Amino acid sequence: MMHNLFRAILVALLFASTGAVAHTFDPVKAAQSIVKVVTYRGENVLREGTGVVVDVGGVVLTNWHLTDRGDRVSVISLVTGAELAAEITVEDEDLDIAILKVAGFGAPPLFFSARPAAEADIVWSFGSWEGQGPSAGALPIDTATGAVGTLTELEIDRDRTTNFLIHNALILRQGYGGPLVNACGEIVGLNRPDPALSNRRVRQGVDPDQAVYALTAATLREFLLAHDVQPNLATNNCLTENERATLSKEQAEAEKAEAERSAATAQVAAEAAEKRAQQLERKALEAQLQAETSSEDKRRAQEAARRARAEAQRKAIEANQLQSRAEQLERRIGEAEQAAKVALDAEAKSRRRLYIGLGVAAAVILLLGLISMIVIRRRSRAISEVESEVEAVKVEAAMARAEAAAAVPSVWNDCLLEGAPVSLKLPGTAMPAEVGGVVVGRHPSSSTVVFDEASISRSHVRFYASGDEVFVEDLDSTNGTMVEGEKLEPNTPRKIADGQTVTLGRHEFIFRILS
């Protein structure tokens, strides 16, 4: 019933409008921008239709269903008859649009109308469907004249609707993908099958039934711009003098409104800038007064800082000495472990010899076993004593480092590694380079700040302050350290600023200098 209503409207409009508008364009000349689209499956032609050049460099607009399920697509120029390979660059099944790219094809583009089509407008369909029109050179250009019956919004999928022109400039199915133009030869739509038909019916080939559906020029331009294609927009040549005057007035009013909005925005910005300048002037004056009144405090603070650095250096030397002692003990542990291994090997050999002589002297074997047990116990006690001594030295070294950090006055602000769910506070007393900085790691004996997590090394990273700057140094960690996404070279300090991102292992933090 709906189709019958559209058909009646279109026929009435066509007869009412016949002769009202004359052609102001040359179809043969416009045919330079029209191509025949051929889709192959293997060596056989799967589907034929029409396309239109919409941008320089061989950009062709056509229907998606013409290229669907084909092995390759080509276009044939109506002027030269040359068949050129085409590449499908964009497809939209719901809109039934495809954009083709034809390398080396220099045909001029057809312009889009700046004025949308209205009901009762006379329109022409261009394409290649019968081959009975005037010659465009190598091939004829088919045209059909009709009128726009209605403009309607239809659903193309569950979540999307779009605008359609319904007209009676009738085509055959080979004319799908061709342009619908106005009296000036400007694109006002792209012909396509009835959106109510299934894709299966469309692929089988269905001719329009006295009413042709066309996507509007606005929909086409929006689609092309979204995919980096710049369609050519025609001037208002098809407008009447009254329409041009109205449009010019509307444009002038829009420009005036935009100028007024810009002026208001500029005034607000100027007032905000003036207020900001006044605030900065007040802050500068306050800073100058504070600097003048606190010069003596600054001198005393600098002297205190100098003494604190000297004391920190002394404590650092002591800490280094304790660290050297700890390393010596670790070497002794290694030697003890090696001796224990040798002893165990010797014990194993002794046991083998004892087993061989088991039948000779059971008493001797028993005696040797007792001797071996005594030796092993003594060596185990010796190893335990050495390990206890090492742990004590490590604790002593950690306490020395803590004393060194505590002995330094707060000459640097506390810092924070801000993260989720864990944040790490870096004490300002340990930040100066003379103290040794703050080491973040998994083991308490070698770290100022302990972060017990699998991706963190025993001594993972060091933060330290020198002058007014803070540096970060990766301590040859297993999973590495990154600043702002850039991985640090091991043992190579890098300057870091407040607010930058630091990644330790698989944990990301924001570095903050606390006031």
pLDDT tens track for 227-240: 999 999 987 666 54
CA atoms within 13 A on the CB side of 428: 14
- The model's confidence at residue 91, banded by pLDDT at 50, 70 and 90, is very high
Cis peptide before 421 (omega within 30 of 0): yes
Q: What are phi and psi of 124, to 5 degrees?
A: -130, 140
Q: CA 442 to CA 450: how far, in whole Å?
A: 5
- CA separation, residue 107 to residues 51, 62, 75, 102, 269 (Å): 12, 15, 12, 10, 50
- In this structure, of 6-15, 25-34, 282-291, 435-444, the range with the lowest mean pLDDT score is 6-15
Does residue 279 carry a pLDDT above 60?
Answer: yes
Q: What is the mean pLDDT of residues 375-393?
A: 70
Does residue 41 carry a pLDDT above 60?
Answer: yes
CA atoms within 13 A on the CB side of 386: 19
Contacts of 235 (CB under 8 A, 6+ apart): 114
Q: What is the mean pLDDT of residues 453-469?
A: 93
Q: CA 494 to CA 474: how far, in whole Å?
A: 9
Q: Name beta bridge partners: 143.
A: 126
- In this structure, of 157-166, 284-293, 401-410, the range with the lowest mean pLDDT score is 401-410
At 409 the pLDDT is 46
On average, the pLDDT of the chain sits at 84
Q: Name beta bridge partners: 482.
A: 487, 503
At 274 the pLDDT is 85
For the chain, the first-to-last Cα distance in angstroms comes to: 78
At 479 the pLDDT is 95
Q: What is the mean pLDDT of residues 491-504?
A: 96
Q: Where are the beta strands (DSSP E) in 452-500?
A: 461-466, 469-474, 481-483, 486-487, 494-496
At 207 the pLDDT is 94
- The model's confidence at residue 341, banded by pLDDT at 50, 70 and 90, is confident
Helix (H) or strand (E) holding 160: strand 160-167
- The model's confidence at residue 258, banded by pLDDT at 50, 70 and 90, is confident
At 252 the pLDDT is 79
Residue 88: how many CB atoms within 10 A of its CB?
17
Q: CA 317 to CA 299: how far, in whole Å?
A: 27
